[in-house]
């Protein structure tokens, strides 16, 4: 029983990084920029968060610095895809490689590796926290409770505000948006930076609040799983949140399985999230629904010089 209770209780902590990263990716991709760099930007957020905590000693500062750091590094990606018009797949991959190298190097040279940080205290949402079995689901740190709020704001901003509408227009048909006087590259730049800041927060959540230390390449493919999650969720933030909960559930099960003493090599257990991601991708593809929700101009650079 305690196994199930703690499994349910741990789920949000594992789900939050997927949720925030997927939301960041959705915001970027709604503007028509294919964002594959999540894995790298999460690492940047993760190392920057730990570094900022070890320097300033404030968790809030650490989280803000992580978002800033990921935003700043994403300017490099913006330079590649918006100004230099380098293939967006290559740009995303190079960004991941760049960030993997950069964060490992920074973490090692600054001596930030394996330095524990305290994280944030858990807050119990009384009376929900007293419920049987699911009670521990409602004993989480502040950032976990902020995630639904962030989602609400993002969905409202994307669907109900003029900048949100323009952002989506830029992603669907940049030529038309440009003709209507919308600064296409400006919106794409904003989408990249805002989305990347959220992805950076996802990374910092893993290092500062969940694992509470930095190890190089600690995101272990979660950024790629978030990329897959956005595809299953068909660029819908709420579906992405649901998917993140599902993957949080799976990840939260891993330490439980290890603790339960199941006779299975731990490495097979570690494979589970990747195998399940692959399985869900196949299942979604086999369901063969027409994929109309992908932003129309996803992955294509906006080139204006043909217009006179």
Site for another protein contains 153 (CB under 8 A): no
In the complex, least distance from residue 123 CB atom to another protein, rounded to whole angstroms: 34
User: What is the footprint of another protein within residues 178-197 (CB under 8 A)?
Assistant: 183, 185-186
194-230: b (≥16 Cβ within 10 Å) or e:
bbbbbbbbbbbbbbbbbbbbbbbebbeebbbbbbbbb
- In angstroms, rounded to a whole number, what is the distance separating the alpha carbons of residues 205 and 222? 12
- Shortest spacing between CB 250 and another protein, in angstroms: 13
Give the residue from 147, 140, 106 showing the smallest Cα distance to 125: 140
The site that binds another protein (CB under 8 A) totals a number of residues, namely: 49
Q: Is 116 in the site for another protein (CB under 8 A)?
A: no
Query: Residue 231 and residue 141: Cα distance in Å, rounded?
Result: 29
Q: Per rule CB under 8 A, is residue 305 in the interface with another protein? A: yes
Residue 97 as a binder of another protein (CB under 8 A): the answer is yes
Supply the minimum distance, in Å, between the C-beta of residue 269 and another protein: 9
Q: Which residues contact 196 (CB under 8 A, 6 or more apart)?
A: 24, 28, 35, 37, 41, 70, 71, 73, 74, 77
CB of 186 to another protein, least distance (A): 7
CB 234 within 8 A of CB 291: yes
What are the structure tokens assigned to 112, written together?
A: 């930030």
CB of residue 88 to another protein, shortest distance in Å: 11
Query: Whose Cβ is closer to another protein: residue 89's or residue 258's?
Result: 89
| Cα gap 95→89, rounded to integer Å | 10
Shortest Cβ distance from residue 308 to another protein (Å)? 10
Q: Please name the residues in contact with 126: beta carbons below 8 A apart, sequence gap of 6 or more.
A: none
Q: Which is nearer to another protein, 119 or 223 (CB)?
A: 223
Q: According to CB under 8 A, which one of 8, 54, 150, 220 is a site residue for another protein?
A: 220
Min dist CB 105 to another protein, Å, is 5
**What is the spatial distance between Cα 209 and Cα 211, in angstroms, rounded to a whole number?**
6
Binding mask 200-219 toward another protein (x if CB under 8 A, else -) reads ----------------x---
**76: number of CA atoms within 13 Å, CB side?**
17
Q: Is 5 in the site for another protein (CB under 8 A)?
A: no
Residue of 206, 18, 20, 12 lying closest to 125 (CA atoms): 12
Regarding 231 and contact with another protein (CB under 8 A), the answer is yes
Query: Does residue 228 bind another protein (CB under 8 A)?
Result: yes
Residue of 92, 89, 51 whose CA lies nearest to 73: 92
Contact range with another protein by CB under 8 A, out of 132-140, 168-176, 242-250, 261-269:
261-269
Please give the residues from 34 up to 63 whose contact with another protein meets the rule CB under 8 A. Answer: 36
DSSP 156-188: HHHHHSHHHHHHHHHHH-HHHHHHTT--HHHHH
Binding site for another protein (CB under 8 A): 36, 76, 80, 83-87, 89-91, 93-95, 97-98, 100-102, 104-105, 108-109, 183, 185-186, 216, 220-221, 224-225, 227-228, 231, 265, 267-268, 270-271, 274-275, 277-278, 281-282, 285-286, 305-306
């Amino acid at each position: 029983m305690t196994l199930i209770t703690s499994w349910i209780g741990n789920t949000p902590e594992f789900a939050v990084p997927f949720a925030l990263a997927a939301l960041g990716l959705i915001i970027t991709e709604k503007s028509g920029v294919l964002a594959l760099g999540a894995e790298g930007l999460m690492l940047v957020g993760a190392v920057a968060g730990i570094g900022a905590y070890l320097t300033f000693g404030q968790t809030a500062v650490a989280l803000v610095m992580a978002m800033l750091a990921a935003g700043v590094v994403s300017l490099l990606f913006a330079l590649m895809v918006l100004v230099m018009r380098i293939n967006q797949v290559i740009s995303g991959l190079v960004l991941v490689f760049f960030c993997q190298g950069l964060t490992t190097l920074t973490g090692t040279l600054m001596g930030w590796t394996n330095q524990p940080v305290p994280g944030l205290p858990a807050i119990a949402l009384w009376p929900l926290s007293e419920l049987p079995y699911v009670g521990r689901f409602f004993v989480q740190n502040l950032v976990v409770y902020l995630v639904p709020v962030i989602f609400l704001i993002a969905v409202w901003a994307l669907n109900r505000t003029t900048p949100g509408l323009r952002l989506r227009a830029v992603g669907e048909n940049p030529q038309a948006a440009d003709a209507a006087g919308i600064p296409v590259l400006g919106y794409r730049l904003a989408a990249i930076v805002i989305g990347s800041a959220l992805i950076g927060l996802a990374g910092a959540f893993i290092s500062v609040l969940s694992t509470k230390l930095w190890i190089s390449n600690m995101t272990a493919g979660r950024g790629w799983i978030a990329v897959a999650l956005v595809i299953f969720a068909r660029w819908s933030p709420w579906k992405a949140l649901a998917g993140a909960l599902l993957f949080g559930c799976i990840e939260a099960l891993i330490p439980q399985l290890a603790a339960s003493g199941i006779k299975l090599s731990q490495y097979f257990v570690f494979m589970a999230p990747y195998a399940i991601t692959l399985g869900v991708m196949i299942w979604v593809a086999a369901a063969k629904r027409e994929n109309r929700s992908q932003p129309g101009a996803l992955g294509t650079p906006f080139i204006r010089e043909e217009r006179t």
